[in-house]
Amino acid sequence: MFRRLWKPVVGTAVLVGAPGYLYFKYTSKPKPRETFDLSVRVRGPDGKASMSTRAIQLLIKEEVEERLHERAQATSVLRRGIVWKQHTAHLASNNPIEDANASKIVERDPSELSPPGDILFFAVMDGHGGYHTSRLLSRVLIPAVALELDLLIREPSAIIPKSGTLTNLKALLSPAAATQIPFDANPQFVSLAIQRAFTNLDSEIVDAPLRFLAQTMVQEGTKEQPIPDLSKHPLAEAMLRPAISGSCALLAMFDTAHKNLYVALSGDSRAVAGVWEQTPDGAGFWRVDVLTEDQTGRNPNELRRMQAEHPADEADTVIMRGRVLGGLEPSRAFGDARYKWPADVQALLNKAFYEGSGQSMRPTPALLKTPPYVTARPVVTHRDLSFLPSSGSVPKQKPKSTMKFVVLATDGLWDELTSEEVVALVGGHLAGLKGTISKSELSHLVPTTTGNTIEGKDKRQRSAEESSWAFVDSNVSTHLIRNAFGGGDEVKLRQLLSIPSPLSRKYRDDITVTVVYWEEGQEDNARTSTFTTNDQVKAKL
């Protein structure tokens, strides 16, 4: 009986249900999107600025999740008994995003003085004035450093300063001691090589338009028009943009052969390490090891350096309101040639590259007198990695003080979170915490020490109300970005991520976060990654 009934039932559903579905689909009004009011600055017809209220469409939860995860990557690779894990995530405020990142493994060849090992590079770049410099650095910075390290091994005299007579005499009296440590295992010499790589690369970027102009003037210049019109030249923009734009750069280099970590910074990004300190009772806490100083005019060390490098009559103007000549915030950066070229050179480049198209470069800073005011020369920090196993062996006894992870992030993260909060959030994530946890509760679950952070920027104002952290992401970098903009406060998170560019720049910056951590592992625990041996730069190091 039931078998005979199914056909008329289905037929009725098709005849009645389908038209009804189509009717409601195309005649019913879509549910209006939620909005919230945002105070924005606008300019009237007279040019005067005033504040106005603008309704902003609120992203739904699924859209927020998509935005948080669309640029997230997690990779791991097994190298000599250690599984190295890299989690990277981005969140754009500018359109397009001005941040960039890079990573690479360089396999070392063993020698009489150096055991087998790798050099693992991880870098984040924080562009400003466009993405041109940061994207270029994401392709060339790591190879530039690798080449300098190769030079240090093959021609150390090209990098190492000449020693004095007394030092040379000691080396002659004790030659064995002089050659006991290879040049690329000496933190002082490696730091010099990294600094050379940064400064030489910046010179190439900043000098490229000048060389291009000089070469064209020789080939095409005439008495009637000594300065050629390059405004429509196909290479003009490629030469000029990376020099005029700018970028901070933060590089971490793990040398597993010699068990050294180097962190090089030009700019106001920051690197922080989490060090696990085991206590006698078998418990422990996280020690916050801040590996860099924010390089802005608000850093007293940078202020003193800048004042010492320029005449005394510029002592009050090299840094104004925490900024270089009152304009640029980072005191070290690649590019930013407006703060490196003399005024007459900028006028010459403007005439050659822009005048023919009716455009112009940004004006020369009014206070510019004795450039350069900005340098790409990085401050290099060294840490010992003696806890890593040798030649793939696993130590029988774990040390009581062990670095467990390093966080590299552009300043957009540090505008919102402290170094201590970041270490606690990563430590809690690695411990497997889940759900929503109040901030006061996390301090008990994941105890940390206070790191010695030199703040280079003013923190954004925070609500005094007790808020919470969210532990819901598998990617630890996405986890940090989520908690930078609301964490367990879903309404705040949705609002901050809903603000479109360029209005969003008042409330959040571009953010790029890379978290590197490692653990003893077996072959089946490592997944193929984007920086495995298939993506290596094989160097004779």
pLDDT tens digits along 449-507: 998 988 887 777 666 566 899 999 999 999 999 999 999 999 999 999 999 999 999 99
pLDDT band at 2 (very low <50, low <70, confident <90, very high): very low
Q: Do 444 and 489 form a contact (C-beta atoms < 8 A)?
A: no
Report the C-alpha gap between 71 and 266 in whole angstroms. 24
Report the C-alpha gap between 257 and 259 in whole angstroms. 6
Q: What is the pLDDT of residue 3?
A: 47
Q: What is the pLDDT of residue 248?
A: 98
Q: Please provide the distance, in angstroms rounded to a whole number, between the alpha carbons at the two ends of the chain.
A: 83
Q: Does this model's pTM top 0.75?
A: yes
Residue 5 pLDDT exceeds 50: no
Q: Do 249 and 377 form a contact (C-beta atoms < 8 A)?
A: no
What is the per-residue burial (b if ≥16 Cβ within 10 Å, else e) of 503-523? ebeeebbbbbbbbbbbeebee
What is the per-residue burial (b if ≥16 Cβ within 10 Å, else e) of 196-205? bbbbebbeeb
Per-residue pLDDT averaged across 253-282, rounded?
95
Report the C-alpha gap between 149 and 120 in whole angstroms. 13
Q: What tokens does 350 get?
A: 């403007």
pLDDT digits (tens, 9 = 90+) for 302-325: 999 999 999 999 999 999 999 999
Higher pLDDT, 135 or 397: 135
SS3 label, residue 72: coil
Domains annotated for the chain, with CATH where assigned, are 61-164+180-535 (3.60.40.10)
What's the full length of the chain, in residues? 541
What would the DSSP string read from start to end of 451-479?
------SPPPP--SS--EEEE--SSHHHH
* E strand or H helix at 513: strand 511-520
Distance of CA 468 to the CA centre of its chain: 26
Per-residue pLDDT averaged across 322-340, rounded?
97
Query: Distance of CA 323 to CAs 299, 312, 318, 331, 526, Å?
Result: 10, 18, 8, 8, 45
pLDDT digits (tens, 9 = 90+) for 69-81: 999 999 999 998 8
Q: What is the pLDDT of residue 15?
A: 45
SS3 label, residue 284: strand
Q: What tokens does 375 get?
A: 């340098």
Higher pLDDT, 521 or 439: 439
Per-residue pLDDT averaged across 55-76, rounded?
96
Q: What are phi and psi of 540, to 5 degrees?
A: -85, 75
Angle between helices 132-154 and 187-220 (to 10 degrees): 120
Report the C-alpha gap between 176 and 55 in whole angstroms. 74
Place of tokens 């497997």: 432
pLDDT digits (tens, 9 = 90+) for 77-134: 999 889 999 999 999 999 999 999 999 999 987 777 778 899 999 999 999 999 999 9
Place of tokens 């190769």: 150
Q: What is the mean pLDDT of the chain?
A: 87
Distance of CA 369 to the CA centre of its chain: 31
Higher pLDDT, 271 or 451: 271
